[in-house]
Amino acid sequence: MADEKISRNVAVTAEQEYFQGAISAAPLPVEKTEKRLPSSEGTSIDEEKAIPVSVSKLEETSYHDDPNIVDWDGPDDPEMAMNWPSKKKWTMTLLLSTLTLLTPMASSMFAPSVGQLLAEFHSSSADLGTFIVSGYLLGYAFGPLFIAPMSELYGRLPVYHISTLGFILFNVACAKSTNFPMIIVFRIMSGVCGCTPLTLGPGSIADMFKQEVRGKILSIWVLPIMLGPTVGPIVGGYLSEAKGWRWDFWFLVILTGAVFLLSLILQRETNPMTILQRRVKRLRKSTGNPNLESAMKSTKTPKELFILSIIRPTKILIFSPVVLVFSIIAAIVYGTVYLLFTTMTQVFEDRYGISKSNVGLTYLAMGIGQTIGTISFGLVSDRILARLAKGGEMKPEYRLPPLIVGLFLVSSGLLWYGWAAQYANAWIVPLLGQVIFGAGIITSFMPITTYMVDAFTPYAASATAANTVLRSIGGALLPLAGPKMYAALGLGWGSTLLAGIALGSVPIAWFVFKHGEKIREKYKLNL
């Protein structure tokens, strides 16, 4: 039994590639010691039982020349998030999913209330109203560049908590705003804080779940990203009609505050480097030995680590061709989503006579499609990965076939919606196109997200942050062109233009599927 407790090298397998990447970045030796570590008085202490053990006995049961290096007690160490009980993992996942529902909900919830705001602040500018809605996504664009590195430096948990608290406070500020500059600035700042669950979620899931089941878990986590903006206008429409536009923000404050309290009680740190560093701190205190160090610790100074972490998302975005390409594709699709969010209210009010309080219900069609897409992706993604791997290496490129299908669905849904909205008398016809479009959104985003996590597992947060930057810029800026585009081209040809752009991304996705591994190897980054 004593031998079984001896720490050993963590096997380089698919389920532990996260730790392989993290350990490879550390200059210290990776051989492991037993959890009995020497104190400054020349004895060692069993951390769990607090029983002193002689140094000579420790040396007899250690594979490491330096007993001051603290590492995992083998690949089955229960403190690793990957080895947590399923109940604990799912608790963390559900908390993340709830946060990932609320913060994207804030992005579109205000769309039906723009008219009330403009009237109260004595403006008739449609562009200004659109920017107040989509400007939230500018926070999504720039926040990840700082949030992802902070999570890799100081752990995910404190970043989650501080960002959630900031999101609550900035929404209070939005509710109390008295002019346009105030609400625009506070909306952007709430977006900076609100992007945290989207940025760190894939990294947290990569911490807890093995690669072969990650697709299914990510499909559950990612649904709220798109379902939130779909549900938001429904809630916002009824709230603003009954209580005024400020209650859109108070509603978010109440719900997020409740989730924040649950997170303080239930949420735990998942980043392996942070968990191991906390073990070091405990052992330093219990043994009195200040020389103990984590096996994952870098030789770089804190300042150097901070700078390296800050530039990492930008470095990935600029110097990794596959990340840049997929970020552009995600920006196109995401921008199209928010373009529709900011124009659908007017389309269904003017053309079909749906009231302001009920017009938010039209967004449900997209949500139904997203749910169908999520279920479908969850059922097939991991199976496709296993089938293409054929018992061998599970390459990130094996996640991409559903992306091709998703882009076809996006194009088809746009064409259906645009031409139906222009000519059809029945409101249900364009909404059927929205169902197809919604399914395409999920089956486009999910392969990109899982690809980023699988290809950059040790730095999944930075990789998804890089993707989020361009995606959010597209979501913030493309809607500004929507009203003018539809006014010039009409709903039919305007949607055809967007569908053509999405369809043009299909050959690019196929090329990366076939040759992505060679591209990744050629442009391998030193992160």
DSSP string, 200-226: HHHHHHHHHS-HHHHHHHHHHHHHHHH
What integer is the mean pLDDT of 209-217? 79
What angle, rounded to 10 degrees, do the helices at 364-389 and 428-455 form? 40
pLDDT confidence bin for 85, thresholds 50/70/90: very high
Q: At 90, which amino acid appears?
A: W
* Residue 282, token pair as written in the block: 């405990």
pLDDT confidence bin for 45, thresholds 50/70/90: very low
pLDDT of residue 28: 38
Residue pair 281/292 in contact by the 8 Å Cβ criterion: no
* Backbone torsions φ then ψ of 403, nearest 5 degrees: -60, -40
List the single range of 61-65, 210-214, 331-335, 490-494 with lowest mean pLDDT: 61-65
Is the same domain home to 156 and 245? yes
Give the number of domains in the chain: 2
196 in a structural domain: yes
State the residue range of the domain holding 13. Answer: 1-69
Is the same domain home to 50 and 129? no
* % of the chain at pLDDT higher than 70: 86
297 in a structural domain: no
Q: Where are the alpha helices (DSSP H) in 86-179?
A: 86-108, 114-120, 126-134, 136-142, 144-154, 156-175
Interatomic CA distance for residues 113 and 300, integer angstroms: 50
Average pLDDT, the chain: 79
Give the CA radius of gyration of the chain.
25
pLDDT of residue 32: 38
pLDDT of residue 414: 94
pLDDT digits (tens, 9 = 90+) for 222-258: 777 777 877 888 888 788 888 888 999 999 999 999 9
527 in a structural domain: no
296 in a structural domain: no
Is the same domain home to 184 and 43? no
**Chain CA centroid to CA 205, Å:** 10
pLDDT of residue 60: 34
Secondary structure of the chain: what % helix, strand, coil (to 5)? 75, 5, 20
Residue 524 — left, alpha, or beta (φ > 0 → left; ψ -120 to 50 → alpha)? beta
* Residue 56, token pair as written in the block: 């000579």
pLDDT confidence bin for 107, thresholds 50/70/90: confident
Give me the DSSP letters along 123-141.
---HHHHHHHHHTHHHHHH
pLDDT of residue 43 exceeding 50: no
Residue pair 203/460 in contact by the 8 Å Cβ criterion: yes
| Alpha-carbon distance values, 202 to 185, 217, 223 (Å) | 28, 10, 13
Is the same domain home to 36 and 139? no
For the chain, how long is the longest CA-to-CA vector? Answer: 87
CATH of the domain at 435: 1.20.1250.20
pLDDT confidence bin for 65, thresholds 50/70/90: low
pLDDT of residue 335: 86
Residue pair 121/113 in contact by the 8 Å Cβ criterion: no
Last residue of a domain, one of 69, 96, 129: 69
pLDDT confidence bin for 384, thresholds 50/70/90: confident
pLDDT of residue 23: 34
160 in a structural domain: yes
Is the same domain home to 389 and 439? yes
63 in a structural domain: yes
Highest mean pLDDT pick, 28-37, 102-111, 157-166, 339-348: 157-166
CA-nearest of 485, 494, 479, 504 to 415 is 494
Is the same domain home to 330 and 363? yes
Interatomic CA distance for residues 236 and 104, integer angstroms: 13
Is the same domain home to 398 and 509? yes
How many beta carbons lie within 10 A of that of residue 268, not counting itself? 14
Interatomic CA distance for residues 254 and 203, integer angstroms: 27
**Chain CA centroid to CA 113, Å:** 27
pLDDT of residue 259 exceeding 60: yes
277 in a structural domain: no
What angle, rounded to 10 degrees, do the helices at 86-108 and 211-243 form? 40
How many beta carbons lie within 10 A of that of residue 217, not counting itself? 21
pLDDT digits (tens, 9 = 90+) for 283-309: 888 888 888 888 877 677 767 777 777
Is the same domain home to 218 and 158? yes
DSSP 8-state class, residue 38: E
Interatomic CA distance for residues 253 and 179, integer angstroms: 20
Give me the DSSP letters along 291-313.
T-EETT--SS-HHHHHHHHHHHH
Interatomic CA distance for residues 418 and 331, integer angstroms: 20
pLDDT digits (tens, 9 = 90+) for 396-446: 888 899 999 999 999 999 999 999 988 877 889 999 999 999 999 989 988
Is the same domain home to 21 and 151? no
Last residue of a domain, one of 43, 69, 95: 69
More confident residue, 454 or 52: 454
Tokens 């061709």 sit on residue: 321
What integer is the mean pLDDT of 67-77? 83
Give the total residue count for the chain: 527
Is the same domain home to 35 and 164? no
- What is the pTM (predicted TM-score) of this model? 0.71
Is the same domain home to 462 and 373? yes
Is the same domain home to 192 and 315? yes
CA-nearest of 194, 172, 180, 179 to 127 is 180
Question: Do the strands 52-54 and 43-46 form a parallel or antiparallel pair, or are they unpaired?
Answer: antiparallel
* % of the chain at pLDDT higher than 90: 23
Burial class (CB in 10 A: 0-12, 13-18, 19+), 356: middle
**Chain CA centroid to CA 509, Å:** 21
pLDDT of residue 56: 32
* Residue 397, token pair as written in the block: 């490129």
Instruction: Provide the 3-class DSSP secondary structure of residue 40.
Output: coil
pLDDT confidence bin for 527, thresholds 50/70/90: low
Last residue of a domain, one of 21, 38, 69: 69
286 in a structural domain: no
pLDDT of residue 42: 36
Interatomic CA distance for residues 233 and 169, integer angstroms: 22
Could you tell me which residues come within 8 angstroms of residue 285 by beta carbon, excluding any fewer than 6 positions away?
A: none
